[in-house]
Amino acid sequence: MKNPAKILVVEDDGTLRDIYTNLLKDEGYQVDSAFDGSHALEKMRMGGWDLVLLDIMLPDIDGYNIMNALRDVPPSKPVGPIVFLTNLSGEDNVEKGLEKDGVKGYWVKSELTPGQIIQKVKGLLAEYRK
């Protein structure tokens, strides 16, 4: 893949982090990951991502608060679409998630197969990447 899209995976569960990063790498994307909120925030603030898959329930700062922090101190380089990839369901949580600036989707992990995640990632990248 020429000039592969850069994707950041934020996931505290080691097994799921492996699954998602390897899945995306196999598709030819350039993938980096973060295992907690503070590392995620640091990497997101550096910018330069074409897509961020962001978990909500993280050990230190949750996904919602990462988005709040990002709104208060914006990244130095632009960040592409951010998608919550979480197992936290419930309409109230979904609404709260989609309210955040820059959040383009709310995907529930347990409802999606790896194949569906790849399809959704491709769709979003096609929509947002120039």
Partner 1 sequence: MLPFTTNGKNHEIAKILKIIGQLSLPLSTRGNIAIESLHQKKTKLTNNLHDLIVPLISKDEAARMQVILKAQTFAVYPILVGSHTLGVLVIGLEKSVADLSQSERETLHELIDVVGLAIERSQIYASLQRANKKLKELDQMKDDFVSVASHELRTPMTAIKSYLWLALDGRGGKLTEKQKYYLDRAYISTDRLIKLVNDMLNISRIESGRITIEMNKIDIQQLVQDVIDEVKPRADEVKVKVTLDQPQKKILPVLADPDKIKEVLFNIIGNSLKFTPEKGTITISFESKEDGHVIIHVRDTGRGIDEKDMGTLFTKFGMVEGSYVTNKKASGTGLGLYISKSIIELHKGKIWAQSPGIDQGTTFSFTLPYYKKGDKVVIKPEKSVEDRKLGIIHSGI
By the criterion CB under 8 A, which residues form the site for partner 1? 13, 15-16, 19, 23, 26, 57, 87-92, 94-95, 98-99, 104-111, 113-115
Choose between 79 and 88: whose C-beta lies nearer to partner 1. 88
CB of 14 to partner 1, least distance (A): 10
CB of 78 to partner 1, least distance (A): 19
CB of 47 to partner 1, least distance (A): 23
Q: Which residues contact 8 (CB under 8 A, 6 or more apart)?
A: 31, 32, 33, 34, 40, 43, 44, 49, 51, 52, 53
Choose between 8 and 85: whose C-beta lies nearer to partner 1. 85
Choose between 27 and 38: whose C-beta lies nearer to partner 1. 27
CB of 76 to partner 1, least distance (A): 26
Choose between 3 and 110: whose C-beta lies nearer to partner 1. 110
Tally the C-alpha atoms within 13 A of residue 42's C-alpha that lie toward its C-beta.
Answer: 8
Q: What tokens were used for 126? A: 């096609």
Place of tokens 């197969």: 113
